Amino acid sequence: MNCSRNDVVLLPIPFSDLTSFKVRPAVVIGTTPNHGDLFLVSITSRIDKGAFPLRAWRSCGLNVPSAVKGQVATVESKLVRKVVGKLSVADIETLDRHLSEWLELAS
């Protein structure tokens, strides 16, 4: 699957005990050239501490109000089942600020 930064994708996410999985949304935050891997952050319908709510959740293909969690993962792009949308400009700006904080990139 061809994915770009800020795409909202659906892919199987395993349960913590690895006995099963559920298809969940995530945001692509980067790709690895020539390797087919994606860097992702999870999307959740639970707006907990550390997550930020998406303002334009409907327009990026989500069915319920959702938030982006500070959980970065690397997965093979072939695991992506579907690209459902793309983040809005406002949500991209918020994501970039949070990524900088979560990854301690701010100088």
Write the pLDDT tens digit of every residue in 66-84: 999 988 888 999 999 999 9
Least confident of 4-8, 27-31, 71-75: 71-75
CA–CA separation, 51 and 46 (whole Å): 9
Maximum Cα–Cα distance across the chain: 41
pTM: 0.89
The answer to the question of residue 82 being in a domain is yes
Amino acid present at 91: D
The count of domains in the chain is 1
For residue 53, what are the domain limits? 7-102
CATH of the domain at 73: 2.30.30.110
The residue among 94, 90, 43, 95 whose CA lies nearest residue 69 is: 43
